[in-house]
Structure 1
Amino acid sequence: MNTTSYELVTDRLIELLENGVAPWKRNFKVNRMTSPANFASKKTYRGLNYFLLEGMQYFKGYKSSYWMTFKQAKDAGGKVIKGSKGMPVTYFNFLMKDKNGKKTMDEKQAVEKIPFFKHSHVFNLDQIEGIEDPTKVVDDEPLNDNVKPIQAAQNIIDNMPNKPAISIDNNKLSSRGNPCYVPSQDEVRMPEMNRFKDAENFYAVFFHELIHSTGHESRLDRKGVGKGSSFGDTVYSKEELIAEMGAAFLCNEARIDNSDIMENSAAYLQSWIKALKGDCKLAVQAASAAQKASEYILG
């Protein structure tokens, strides 16, 4: 991805954060299609694209979870409403070269593949005229069902491969009683569920700590986990972004609300904004790492 692409997506993320919207911390929409997806391909967006589109949908109050490029809208018989502002999304591609070092589109002739990222702009279906959103709300299961999503959350924890030691014991916590991941012991320490306002909050925090545990050297060996980082520095902020984003992926998988994971959210927001302004690649890298961490947990 060139610098322009990095800057575009980072600027939009900062815009959301400065308006008090952390796109990885929000209630699920009423709409059954909870994850942002491309209308033409029906594929769910991944990585930072997921969070940018999810956050902008919430910020702008869009009812649809579907997005399209200008061309896709036109090809489908729709029209982007005049004055609409698109959202940048990034995608992965390869530049292929033959044995003479020349560009080629033929994979059989390619002897070198150079990875690169590009960006395009997409519009929410609410910004497009002439195309009906096929997603129906009337068939949805109620989102306040505390049985199915909680069981789904517990299944994710139980089925995690190579999982760390897990202690749900108030006596093993620090004097402040905070949940934590202890890298030196490779152990997630959680307060008992009755310390939380509800089961959904318990599992959302649990996921956050499990994501941290994937950074252990026996798993994904991620810098920032047990490497002496401190609150507010770039390494710490990146690891917190990874944990928040990764927890959001898992909450989405379990269909639970992750809008109230952390206290001191204002301090965290400022820390992230500062880190993002200092490194335009940080958001993309954190989202990619979060995707890998959540996929590791899901097996």
Structure 2
Amino acid sequence: MRPLDPKGRDDYYRRVADVLIAQIKNGTAPWVQSWEAGERVQPYNLASGKAYRGGNATWLASVSEMRGYQDERWGTYRQIQEAGGQVRRGQKGASIIYWQWEKRRLARDGNGKPVLDEKGQPAYEVAKLERPRSYMYTVFNAEQASGLPPRPLREGGHQWERNERAELVVENCGAEVEHTHQDRVFYDLGRDRIVMPHREQFPNPAGYYQSLLHELGHWTGHPERMNRETLVEGIQQGPKSLEYAREELRAEISSMMTGDRLDIGHDGSRSAAYVDFWVKTLQDHPQEIHLASRDAQLISDYVMERGRTQEVEAGGDRQARTPSPPAAEAPAVPGLPPAVVPPASSGEQMRLFQRGRSMADRARAAVEEDRAAAISR
């Protein structure tokens, strides 16, 4: 572990962005690819069993794709040794960022004297840092080491069980889903509902739920929920804007994360329309992939928390191993022509935005406190 100054962070973000730009262009970025249920899992720490989060998760998945790793387990050199393995000579690790938002310190009373616990020992408290600190860790994939136990098999369950879990999560979230005989999948902000073709129009159940999770990601951005700026501004600026593409990036990465947690796979075909926008955004703002991944993690967490009660009973969240406006759309169902959603008035959009201003403050506070880069130490 080593501390990172602002220049070090900027250099790191640029290196990560350059790799992901190349992967976006050739269709191998993690969220651009499609994969079936059981084929992929988010990278996780082999010592804690907890999935990496936010930008670290996206970056390690990218490294796995670049180097051809099939094992999802990662750990520091010491963690691998403690697990009975040994990193082979000449192996190159991957760098990730850990953000420290608070520190443990001696508790003191109003006079500055140390506080003792009931056993007479010094008591400690956790204090929030005025300026969060960032550190860089080097981690290695399990395939770079020898002597580790085999990768645990993933228990995906039957297809109907996976569909049931996804259905329960959507139902418990409280999102209004309207099924119509039309050809588009989109979230309508003005009416606050997701509009879907009927289930039988999809080639299989997984395709239906993968599309629904993408739109559920947009749904979380409503002013009365997370009030995500990229959703509101993206819709105001229209589908050809960079802001719209930034919102799509968040929805796509979040649907990948949630699809992995529910083991229903991921459909990356929606990404093609936004490749040029994403490339330009990362070229101009290398940190964007980490910001988008952080927001995507919060979206996925929000969806899973809202749907957790019955979902855990039905099989569990595997990662717990820890204005009507132009809608935010996904591409049409294969073989069907596109549809258009008529715009709503600017007054309606402003009403929604003002109503959710307090929610925006809460969401920003949550982002500041999110430890998206944390790993087990």
**TM-score greater than 0.5 by the shorter chain:** yes
CA RMSD of superposed structures (Å):
2.9
- Scaled by the length of structure 2, what TM-score is found? 0.66
2:99 aligned partner = 92
Among 200, 204, 217, the residue aligned to 1:198: 204
Partner-residue secondary structure (3-state), 1:226? helix
Bigger share in helix: 2
Q: Supply the AA of the counterpart residue of 1:202.
A: Y
| Worse-matched range after superposition: 86-95 or 151-160 | 86-95
The alpha-carbon distance between structure 1 residues 218 and 57, as it changes in their structure 2 partners (threshold 3 A), is same
1:135-284 matches, within 5 Å, as 135-136=152-153, 140=155, 145-161=158-174, 163=175, 165-170=176-181, 173=182, 177-227=183-233, 228-262=236-270, 265-284=271-290
Q: Supply the AA of the counterpart residue of 1:166.
A: V
Residues 38 and 264, structure 2, Cα contact 8 Å, conserved in 1: no
The alpha-carbon distance between structure 1 residues 296 and 112, as it changes in their structure 2 partners (threshold 3 A), is closer
Cα distance in 2 for residues equivalent to 1:71 and 1:111:
28
The alpha-carbon distance between structure 1 residues 188 and 78, as it changes in their structure 2 partners (threshold 3 A), is same
Among 90, 115, 129, the residue aligned to 2:132: 115
Among 19, 27, 32, the residue aligned to 2:35: 27
Cα distance in 2 for residues equivalent to 1:182 and 1:190:
11
Residues 96 and 110, structure 1, Cα contact 8 Å, conserved in 2: yes
CA distances 1:82-114 after superposition (whole Å, capped 9, x unpaired): 44332222222047699xxxxxxx975968532
Q: Which has the larger radius of gyration?
A: 2
How big is the shift at 1:3?
A: 1.6
The alpha-carbon distance between structure 1 residues 149 and 76, as it changes in their structure 2 partners (threshold 3 A), is closer
Determine which structure has greater relative contact order: mean sequence separation of CA pairs < 8 Å that are 6+ residues apart, divided by chain length: 2
The alpha-carbon distance between structure 1 residues 148 and 230, as it changes in their structure 2 partners (threshold 3 A), is same
The alpha-carbon distance between structure 1 residues 231 and 116, as it changes in their structure 2 partners (threshold 3 A), is farther
The alpha-carbon distance between structure 1 residues 159 and 14, as it changes in their structure 2 partners (threshold 3 A), is same
Percent identity for Structure 1 against Structure 2? 27
1:294 matched to 2:307? The reply is no
Structure 2 gap ranges (5+)? 1-5, 106-122, 307-377
Cα distance in 1 for residues equivalent to 2:126 and 2:297:
33
1:79 aligned partner = 86
Cα distance in 2 for residues equivalent to 1:297 and 1:84:
38
Q: Supply the AA of the counterpart residue of 1:269.
A: V
How big is the shift at 1:273?
A: 1.8
Q: Supply the AA of the counterpart residue of 1:249.
A: M
How big is the shift at 1:282?
A: 0.8
How big is the shift at 1:120?
A: 1.9
How big is the shift at 1:260?
A: 4.3
